[in-house]
Structure 1
């Protein structure tokens, strides 16, 4: 078997005719690579997303916690005169001969057609996007020490794909110093001496890496960004280290599973953590939605992430849609959706008019309703008071995208038909109803009921007066938007009369609570009760000599 160096020499001689006749297709090949690299990756951000994507697609040894580390340094370890150099360290298995053959080609990715196996890359030139920020990338992996050049090779007139063996700069000892002399160097290292006009853009992108970038990656469990300078005071990149841990995986009977994922993000300007309820559900791909780029895929896998607490965003906004990695779209929804969307070349948005993406978006409402139902209904022994915060995941705010507003409206239409709203039962047992079957009470009357209950008044029949009463834990101003979104309104004015008459609220409470009840009725008499049957209910207590108090 050929050594790594012998393999590179074989590629140079056989594929690129170095040392022999010039390949007549070399100029056309060069223009093709240049055009693809420029068109498909129009923004500096994509070199970073592509490298993360490639790392997620890599194979990892068993027992290894997959990690990806970015280090930017002002040291010119390649001897190219670069003002700054970006290094990427990945503890994967390392480059194989087939990987090397692929990277020396265009659109011949070893991952192509392997969507079912979990690969998230697809264009076959992901690595070549680094040429947006460097003229000469280096790869050190599994004994390979090679570099590429965007300028045409003088021996074959081709750029981008012709490998050259690296004898000297950078030296492994210098790479080790930057990584940390006390740590074992990971299997694969990319060294990217940055173009002068890209240094600030790269630093800005590194400082803006979102902690939630790991949310939907199944392999990489740790990602870090830091800057290495002899004088740390010169560092301008905001360092961050992100780790993820998944537990409590539970399978469901609708081809879905739920889990809890915990993210921790720490850095010199950032120290936060957040847990997410993850709902992953499979849907069959409809024939009418199939496209050529996904012909081998027969099911959509949609994952929704519901954050328990504040999102781990850096900056003022947080992406709301992922295609394994974040898309630059702010949805205004309080949850994050992930699917194998087809994206615009700029990776700024999903392609809304694409039939593949339309099919995915049509499935999101079902996934959301199933996820929320699982959260709310299947909570076991959890008290009703723990349920209302889960409704904060409802998309009560409109999106700037009409296509996402359509998703929002379908979610609403499905939820109003579900038994998901808890009613007040004054017992440990939980009861759920459709939103239209439940009504809210005025806050002042809730106060009266709570005091009456404490004084021994039986309120078990509270929901037996024509409508179910919304749980007191849910009937609060903080949930007004959610309840309005679901169409939960107030109980009728007549309901109060029936409740007072049937619940012994006149004779069964103390004088203080009784007076509070009368004041409540007086305050709302003209606006709510003057035209109801309350005026026919005995409300005034009186005492006859030698007899118990009565009401009239």
Structure 2
């Protein structure tokens, strides 16, 4: 405590107190000794000898223990410093060590020595501190360890300045006898400095080894010792040797997130280099109860009565990088000071019972066994704390000890205890981020059941199985050893079943997700093929995993037969009553393999054809239409499976065709036409024509049935090399027509077709071409029916000059006939030549025009009738010129010549007379 004494009076009092303490040990100041008489000296010598003989056994035992012990005096000084009081300390409490050639200077900003401290430091086996937990050393005992390295220790603290001196050859009284030494430097009031004069005399090799030991103790001093010190916050180490000065400072501080940071700063003065690094420590404390007594510790009656020895604190410190990554390195076990390395990657601190050298613990001590059990509990508490951290909750298991790296059976038991508690405590985060779960209740479903973005292929089960995706591979490897499993086949099958039963099933509604569909199918077929358990196969067979075209999903165990939607490389048409797998599902190779494994087969082509024929018979008279595409698909299937060597035209009369109005027809019963762009085809000839300028060219149109345009889209390829093309097959096999009929199919009496009459009336410019185009296929009926021939002869057709003349009265406009007509008419009148779209030559006669002259009476030569026709044409000329009369006389001459050549004069005479009566020029 502070006092009101002046520094001078306080110094005198301190000197007197030191003198009093030294006097108790038999020390007489030389000044007084010299003043004594010989008898007085003898009297004092006898008294001192008697006193020292009383202390000598304890002193010798202390001296012997110092030189035989392997204790590390630097740690003994650290423990004394931790036990100090720092009420008046300026700045953070610290201790510093400054090693030079022959000295080690220790400074500490403690409050300073008290008389009780001085008495303790001058005693043997006495301390100013009780055995209360938290004190890690004793000033009166641990301090003596400095004489392992020094022959003299000067202590300056507050008003006190004194030294102890002890050489190996001395009795040892110097270690407990303080001698006042005038201070040479005024220190801050709350500061204690100990200056150790290191041994310089004796065996050089021993001296050198001792210096090396001191240096090693300082160099190996780690800042983590501050973690378990409640008072000290900084350790400073300066090594000043061989013209090189290195300063290392360890500083302890608390971070905002509750961790403890140890900052290490190293300064090299000769190079002005600065090295700085920091380690975070997560610290967990746990109170252990019902401990046995520490047999190496003396307890007061009060402590013994209250059984304070039965409780102790276990502290675990877990090293972390600044980024909160676990640092996995072998760490020490502390009993307030480092005791040993036991193979753990976290630091352990507790009030262990240690051996005399503080370099090991008693593994059989009941108290230590109790503390060991408490460490396991503390580890679980730490793990739970880690689980509240954003990243450490996924990496804390890296701190789990490895039994193969632990150094003794005592500590191996701790490993077993920790592992047992880890298995029994919910410490693992599920993928949803929900409450912690037991490690054995979760599975690692990745990567086997994850997509490219590491999301699960399917929703997790309830309760969920999947461990969080944020666990690293190295963390998962550790968890596997503690009970974590990868997914089980049955669990994935349950996930699939759960999904299929869901109203928003991913399998059902994410059809375009090829990766999902393929992965699920792959896994299921793998399980089905490789499992040894029939129960697993049964689970898969009961999954409604097979999608049908009608929207239903069936299982392989369904009583309904299911087929692939294709056969022989062709798509099976819809609406045939088959349960067909949805096409996109069947087209995915892995899904198809799964379906095959589950027993799905393709239909026979013959079965599909028979069902098509049956379906067309059934649906022809049904009320309500089927979709047009069904008929189109089915007809194309029939075409694509038509085999000329097997299938004839007779097999198709009942097949339904759809016309352009969507009506159902059968080609044998109704004419259905194939639309094309042929100007003489049905569509072009019969379509309505609107002309704004010339009403004479308008046509109202004529309605016939054309096959629906869907049949002509996506035209199928010929199934065989010798197969008909699609359009040809429609015509030749199905009876679809390319040409209009010339004769009405069902009229009575027989008559020309309505289309024929329509073209003659409304498309006269096309009628002759229409006849020429259709006659090869349709004219044979007319050729054998004179009644039809007569009707066709009487149809008026378009002739040159716009005349409409009955067909049988017309002439083909061959060039020679045109020339003769022009010779006589000279362009003043139109002859009854047919109006054709293209000029014709006589060489085309046999190919194109024979039927016109043979069956229909059209004329093609310069017969008598031809010249009489020219004569008749003159009758239309209103006024004749002299040249016209000359040509008329010439025409008469030609007519007379033709008459003379005729074998039957009577009938020819009548023809001439009739023509003359109607054609007088």
TM-score, normalisation: structure 1: 0.80
| Counterpart among 139, 142, 147 of residue 158 in structure 2 | 142
Asked if the contact 1:27/1:157 (under 8 Å) is kept, the reply is no
Distance 1:95 1:122 in 2: 13
Closer, same or farther: CA 386–190 of 1 in aligned 2, 3 Å: closer
Shift of 1:338: 0.7
Distance 2:509 2:76 in 1: 71
Distance 1:120 1:424 in 2: 46
Aligned length: 495
Closer, same or farther: CA 112–145 of 1 in aligned 2, 3 Å: same
Structure-1 residue corresponding to 2:26 = 16
Asked if the contact 1:142/1:187 (under 8 Å) is kept, the reply is yes
Structure-1 residue corresponding to 2:333 = 321
Closer, same or farther: CA 157–394 of 1 in aligned 2, 3 Å: closer
Q: Could you report, residue by residue, the CA deviation over 1:333-380 in whole angstroms, capped at 9, with x for unpaired residues?
A: 22211111121112211111222222222222222222322332xx2x
Structure-1 residue corresponding to 2:104 = 86
Closer, same or farther: CA 369–167 of 1 in aligned 2, 3 Å: same
Structure-2 residue corresponding to 1:446 = 450
TM-score, normalisation: structure 2: 0.49
Shift of 1:112: 3.3
Distance 1:421 1:261 in 2: 25
Distance 1:386 1:353 in 2: 35
Distance 1:272 1:45 in 2: 30
Structure-1 residue corresponding to 2:886 = none
Shift of 1:417: 1.6
Greater RCO (CA < 8 Å, at least 6 residues apart): 1
Closer, same or farther: CA 267–499 of 1 in aligned 2, 3 Å: same
Answer 1 or 2: which has greater strand percent: 1
Structure-2 residue corresponding to 1:78 = none
Q: Which segment is superposed worse, 123-132 or 157-166?
A: 157-166
Tell me, yes or no, if structure 1 residue 354 matches structure 2 residue 365.
Answer: yes
Closer, same or farther: CA 307–10 of 1 in aligned 2, 3 Å: same
Structure-1 residue corresponding to 2:282 = 277
Trace 1:184-333 onto structure 2 (pairs within 5 A). 187-196=191-200, 197=207, 198-228=210-240, 232=243, 234-235=244-245, 239-246=247-254, 259-268=258-267, 271-286=276-291, 288-289=292-293, 291=295, 293=297, 295=299, 296=303, 297-298=308-309, 299-309=311-321, 319-327=331-339, 329-333=340-344
Distance 2:191 2:487 in 1: 66
Q: Could you report, residue by residue, the CA deviation over 1:318-340 in whole angstroms, capped at 9, with x for unpaired residues?
A: 5421111211x222222211111
Shift of 1:96: 1.5
Structure-2 residue corresponding to 1:128 = 144
Structure-2 residue corresponding to 1:253 = none
Partner SS, residue 446 of structure 1: coil
Partner SS, residue 69 of structure 1: strand
Distance 1:125 1:422 in 2: 51
Distance 2:456 2:362 in 1: 58
Structure-1 residue corresponding to 2:467 = 470
Shift of 1:42: 5.1
Asked if the contact 2:25/2:52 (under 8 Å) is kept, the reply is no
Structure-1 residue corresponding to 2:386 = 375
Q: Could you report, residue by residue, the CA deviation over 1:64-103 in whole angstroms, capped at 9, with x for unpaired residues?
A: 32011111123xxxxxxxxx21000111111112211111
Asked if the contact 1:261/1:278 (under 8 Å) is kept, the reply is yes
Trace 1:87-126 onto structure 2 (pairs within 5 A). 87-113=105-131, 115-116=132-133, 118-122=134-138, 124-126=140-142
Partner SS, residue 55 of structure 1: helix
Closer, same or farther: CA 106–248 of 1 in aligned 2, 3 Å: farther
Q: Could you report, residue by residue, the CA deviation over 1:127-179 in whole angstroms, capped at 9, with x for unpaired residues?
A: 1000000111111111222111114999x9823111112247xx328xx8xxx
Distance 1:317 1:511 in 2: 46
Structure-1 residue corresponding to 2:517 = 514
Asked if the contact 1:493/1:529 (under 8 Å) is kept, the reply is no
Distance 2:176 2:446 in 1: 72
- Structure with max Cα Rg: 2
Partner SS, residue 359 of structure 1: helix
Distance 2:55 2:329 in 1: 41
Shift of 1:32: 2.2
Asked if the contact 1:112/1:124 (under 8 Å) is kept, the reply is no
Shift of 1:26: 1.4
Partner SS, residue 499 of structure 1: helix
Distance 1:418 1:289 in 2: 31
| Counterpart among 162, 171, 187 of residue 177 in structure 2 | 162
Distance 2:316 2:193 in 1: 33
Structure 1 runs not aligned, ≥5 long? 75-83, 177-183, 250-258
Distance 1:361 1:199 in 2: 37
Asked if the contact 1:135/1:194 (under 8 Å) is kept, the reply is yes
Distance 1:318 1:37 in 2: 36
Asked if the contact 1:213/1:325 (under 8 Å) is kept, the reply is yes
Closer, same or farther: CA 90–318 of 1 in aligned 2, 3 Å: farther
Closer, same or farther: CA 525–34 of 1 in aligned 2, 3 Å: farther
Structure-2 residue corresponding to 1:255 = none
Structure-1 residue corresponding to 2:424 = 417
| Counterpart among 185, 194, 198 of residue 172 in structure 1 | 185
Partner SS, residue 486 of structure 1: coil
Structure-1 residue corresponding to 2:397 = 391
CA-atom RMSD, angstroms? 3.4
Structure-2 residue corresponding to 1:50 = 76
Answer 1 or 2: which has greater helix percent: 2
Shift of 1:519: 4.7
Tell me, yes or no, if structure 1 residue 67 matches structure 2 residue 63.
Answer: no
